[in-house]
């Protein structure tokens, strides 16, 4: 086709019309965007932030302090309102103070509020200060802590950020004590059936920095998973079943000759000398035989325990609901008096990610997580302390 055939008046008009239409469309889009931006600016300008009065702040900030204290499982009876005490003292002193000027100003005349909070030794005063600082940020207030180098007690002074002089309007004094303790517990996670994960997922799971133990896979078809666990240096346990001749998969059968099961114990102790423990699964409750096995394992370095040390937690819910239910179970058991709990769980990578994101809430309340090796050492240490106290007391 020749250029002269394209370069016609009709085609030129068509092209011009197309360009005009395009410009109109672009102009309309521009105007709409400009109108939306103007609307947003107007909305921002017309929304006025509520300015809190001093009386409202005097009520709100102490509530925030109490709320932060509850996050750290600090009981109400450990929190003392010094402003109330000051008011009471002022009333009981009677008419003498009307004629005699006190050399020291009353707290109510200097501060809006003053809290003294007695806390256990395991509470992090710096974390408390940080949590309070974040809570005060939304009302345009801030705080600064001053630690006593000897006692580690922390005095937190609160001030208005708009006040350049940083005048203290209230304070919180965190006082450590050896005489109080929170309702918390030592927790151990033993993750079962890790061989159900793909090898890449298993490697990610074992590489997590969190403290937990795993059950060593013993299925022949999953020998590669066992190798990954052993190579990871992760704290692991071995399950050994106690049964009868009818239990084909049982490692220890009641009918075994003494020489045979003793030899089997010795072999396990040498082959898995790096294991945290052997846990004997005894569904048939063959107790005398179980006792003999525990006695035999005690001759070697490999620890052996009954499966009754385990609390089995299982849930078919999604990760969020599963971990929430798990944490609720921990809190419920600790409130009933449990101070050391070993859980057997089936957690995958997604479950562990939710666990990692949420576990700080329990740690803040005084709960600690350990491997099986660590938690059994802690139990032994506490047992020795109790025995020593009984003997000397």
- Mean pLDDT, each 10-residue run in order, the chain (393 residues): 56 71 74 58 44 86 95 95 65 48 50 94 95 93 95 96 92 96 96 95 96 93 93 96 93 95 96 96 94 96 96 95 97 95 96 96 96 96 78 58
**Can you give the pLDDT at residue 105?**
40
Rounded CA gap, 298 and 294, in Å? 6
Q: Which has the closest alpha carbon to 211: 316, 363, 379?
A: 363
What pTM value is reported for the model? 0.78
For residue 117, the model assigns a pLDDT of 97
> Rounded to whole angstroms, what are the CA distances from 54 to 51, 82, 139, 170, 352?
10, 19, 12, 12, 45
Q: CATH assignment of 54-92+106-177?
A: 3.30.460
How close are the terminal C-alpha atoms of the chain, in Å?
A: 113
Distance separating alpha carbons of residues 366 and 186, to the nearest angstrom: 9
Residue extents of the structural domains in the chain: 54-92+106-177, 186-388
Give the model's pLDDT for residue 48: 45
CA distances from 71 to 11, 220, 296 (A): 76, 47, 47
Task: Give which of 168, 138, 137 is closest to 155, Cα–Cα.
Answer: 168
> 108 CB contacts (<8 Å, ≥6 apart)?
83, 86, 87, 90
Question: So what CATH class is 186-388?
Answer: alpha beta
pLDDT in tens, 312-354: 999 999 999 999 999 999 999 999 999 999 999 999 999 999 9
Does residue 155 contact residue 139 with C-beta atoms inside 8 Å?
Answer: no
Dihedrals φ, ψ of 275, to 5°? -70, 150
Residue from 253, 257, 256, 251 nearest 278 by CA: 251
Is 142 in contact with 158 (CB distance < 8 Å)?
yes
Where b means 16+ CB within 10 Å and e means fewer, 272-294 reads: beebbbbbbbbebebeebbebbb
Q: Residue 49 has what DSSP assignment?
A: P
């Amino acid at each position: 086709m020749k250029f002269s055939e394209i370069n016609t008046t009709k085609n030129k008009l068509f092209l011009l019309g197309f360009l005009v239409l395009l410009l109109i469309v672009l102009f309309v889009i521009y105007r709409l965007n400009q109108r939306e931006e103007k609307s947003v600016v107007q909305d921002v300008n017309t929304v006025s932030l509520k300015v809190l009065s001093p009386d409202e702040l005097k009520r709100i900030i102490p509530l925030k302090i109490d709320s932060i204290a509850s996050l750290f499982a600090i009981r109400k009876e450990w929190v003392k309102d010094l402003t109330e005490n000051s008011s009471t003292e002022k009333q009981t002193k009677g008419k003498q103070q009307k004629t005699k000027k006190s050399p020291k100003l009353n707290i109510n005349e200097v501060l809006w509020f003053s809290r003294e909070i007695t806390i256990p030794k395991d509470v992090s005063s710096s974390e408390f200060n940080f949590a309070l600082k974040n809570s005060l940020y939304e009302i345009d207030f801030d705080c600064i802590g001053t630690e006593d180098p000897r006692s580690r007690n922390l005095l937190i002074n609160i001030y208005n950020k708009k006040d350049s002089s940083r005048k203290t309007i209230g304070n919180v004094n965190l006082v450590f004590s050896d005489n109080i303790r929170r309702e918390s517990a030592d927790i151990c996670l033993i993750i079962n059936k890790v061989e159900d994960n793909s090898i890449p997922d298993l490697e990610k799971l074992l590489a997590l920095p969190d403290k937990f133990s795993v059950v060593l896979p013993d299925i022949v078809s999953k020998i590669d998973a066992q190798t990954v666990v052993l190579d990871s240096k992760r704290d692991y346990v071995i399950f050994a079943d106690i049964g009868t001749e009818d239990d084909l998969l049982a490692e220890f059968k009641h009918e075994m000759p003494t020489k045979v099961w003793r030899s089997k114990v010795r072999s396990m102790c040498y082959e898995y000398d790096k294991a945290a423990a052997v846990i004997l699964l005894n569904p048939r409750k063959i107790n005398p035989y179980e006792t003999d096995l525990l006695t035999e394992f005690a001759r070697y370095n490999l620890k052996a325990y009954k499966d009754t040390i385990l609390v089995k937690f299982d849930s078919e819910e999604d990760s969020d609901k599963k971990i929430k239910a798990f944490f609720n179970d921990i809190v419920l058991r600790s409130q009933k008096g449990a101070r050391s709990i070993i859980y057997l769980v089936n957690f995958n990578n997604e479950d562990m990610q939710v666990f990692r994101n949420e576990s700080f809430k329990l740690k803040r309340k005084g709960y600690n997580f350990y491997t099986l090796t660590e938690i059994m050492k802690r139990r032994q240490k506490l047992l020795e302390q109790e025995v020593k106290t009984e003997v000397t007391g």
